[in-house]
Structure 1
Amino acid sequence: MRLVQVTDAHLHADTEARSRAGIPWRQFQQVLRAVTAEHPDIVIFTGDISQDESAGSYALAAQAMAALSCPWYWLPGNHDQLALMAAECPLVGEVDLGAWRMLLINTQVEGKPHGELGSERLAKLAEQLENDDRPTLIAMHHPPVDVGAVWMDAIGLQDREAFWDLLSNHSHVKIILFGHAHQAYAEHHRSGDATIDVYGCPAMADQFLPGAEHFAIDEASRPGYRVIDLAYSDAQGGEWQSWIERID
């Protein structure tokens, strides 16, 4: 099964509106054309769909995503409006991937750039993990790890220790996907007796400079997406390969 992650489109209702390093709507369309050529079985959009938080921006995104020849799902980022998203496409918390499954976690703290799960969301996640031991992929917006940029690490997932403490009891969690950081990232994260692959994804819009102490755009980098090929065998359990693709 081929899953493609896209993230951080930062769209405006005005399709000609500019960002710091391009026109988000044009970048969004270019990325989706490339994603379509990957022939994905499923696409996950990990937040920050909108920049202007308008109904029109979500309508643009949903109409474009609907042209994909596969199911797609989205979850909110710190810039997003949940009601406007849900009006265009329902927000779901779990997707059946056959031998695998995907959990979509809302890490948004309304009005704040950082992320947090809180006790209720953590309890819900614990329940989901206890009820099904299939290989599991978790998708979220905020990074649950430091990505190496001081300013970005300050606005990542704030209660990450509680998150990792929970996952240490569930070795069937294999992959975590996040957005927010506007850059490619990969880490083998040790959690209890298991190792979880943690992946960040280039934005569909502007890219952020890796390793920066303060906010900075990476003008040499390009929008992109992440491909994850999932497999399963009785002998090995869940298996996968993942890589980044960028548009010209």
Structure 2
Amino acid sequence: MAWFDDTYTFNKPSLRIAHVTDCHLFADRNAEYFGVNTATYFQQALEHMALQQLDAVVFGGDLTQDHSVESYLLFSELISNSTLTCPVFWLPGNHDEIALLEQISGGQIKAAKRLVANNLTNNLTNNLTNNLTNNASTDIELLLINSKGLTPAGWVTSEHLNEISDCLAQPVSKQLVFCHHNPLPINGYLDKHMLENGPQLLNTLVNNGNVAALIHGHVHNDYTQCFRELDIYATPASSVQFTKHSKAWQQQNNGPAYRMLYINSSQGQVHINTDVIWLSA
């Protein structure tokens, strides 16, 4: 099945989305990553997200640190045991195995990579008034792409770029794109493992004209960048953070974090607001 074949539809004109990433779980739920109990921090993020009246959670990759089957089962267990009730979608990070992510998909954890919010009420009204030709579409589309390469650095294959281009060519008001790797340098240690063909991906998105923003993880901190007027947001990790703008390998226990995205559409316009939620260490 092609990457974007599975579509999940929200019949509403606005979305409240949480982006959480880089939980780095182990088979042992008591194991620590640079002094941080990653399972406890991820559980804390899940419980806080459950209070936000979310339509969906997008998990941004690097589920596992020890690459064990048990770490994937722990991810599923933590979600199942939480008070979070919305669907959880995923995309792969450099640590992840797609086959194992697919194995835990089912029920609350969804494998769809194309999420569509459509203004069903508005479309029905326009059908009744025969005014479709004068009304701009207010659909919103979220694309979860695969930036996993053969090394810790990211790579979007030419085949996948074509799949992305095909999705972008379809008539919706705005698209948001999620990937794991940073497509631009952050002046930090992880630039050695960034998305190696990031400019190619970014130009593909910008040339479409309808992509509102790209959201990624991987860098374990909060960054905001811009490429040809395209907004790029990095979400901090739910585990440990990496010191910003440091060429050295430095970690900080700043507590778990995730990003909220508030997406609203009306009268053919889409408005996106976002902020990072930091929780106490």
Structure 1 residue 72 corresponds to structure 2 residue 106: no
RMSD: 1.4
Deviation of 1:79 after TM superposition, in Å, equals 0.4
Question: Corresponding residue for 1:182?
Answer: 220
1:122 maps to a residue whose letter is: L
2:262 maps to a residue whose letter is: D
Deviation of 1:92 after TM superposition, in Å, equals 2.6
Deviation of 1:188 after TM superposition, in Å, equals 3.2
Query: Counterpart of 2:158 in 1: which secondary structure?
Result: helix
Pairing partner for 1:172 from 210, 213, 217:
210
Deviation of 1:124 after TM superposition, in Å, equals 0.8
Question: Corresponding residue for 1:241?
Answer: 273
For structure 2, the 5+ residue unaligned runs are: 1-14, 119-138
- Give the 5 Å matches for 1:18-167: 18-66=32-80, 67=82, 68-89=84-105, 91-98=111-118, 99-110=139-150, 112-149=151-188, 151-167=189-205
Counterpart-to-counterpart distance in 1, 2:172 and 2:116:
13
Counterpart-to-counterpart distance in 1, 2:209 and 2:68:
40
Query: Counterpart of 2:242 in 1: which secondary structure?
Result: coil
Counterpart-to-counterpart distance in 2, 1:168 and 1:32:
33
2:260 maps to a residue whose letter is: V
1:21 maps to a residue whose letter is: G
Counterpart-to-counterpart distance in 2, 1:117 and 1:222:
31
Query: Counterpart of 2:208 in 1: which secondary structure?
Result: coil
Question: Corresponding residue for 2:249?
Answer: 215
Deviation of 1:65 after TM superposition, in Å, equals 2.5
Question: Corresponding residue for 1:205?
Answer: 239
Answer with 116-125 or 129-138: which moved more: 129-138
Cα shift readout 1:115-160 (whole Å, capped 9, x = no counterpart): 01021111111111112333101010001112221x2112111001
For structure 1, the 5+ residue unaligned runs are: none
2:219 maps to a residue whose letter is: A
Where do 4+ consecutive residues of structure 1 move more than 6 Å? none
Question: Corresponding residue for 2:5?
Answer: none
**2:202–2:227: 8 Å Cα contact kept in structure 1?**
no
Counterpart-to-counterpart distance in 1, 2:270 and 2:159:
29
Question: Corresponding residue for 2:129?
Answer: none
Counterpart-to-counterpart distance in 2, 1:196 and 1:234:
22
2:267 maps to a residue whose letter is: D
Identity %: 29
TM-score (norm. length: structure 2): 0.82
Query: Counterpart of 2:32 in 1: which secondary structure?
Result: coil
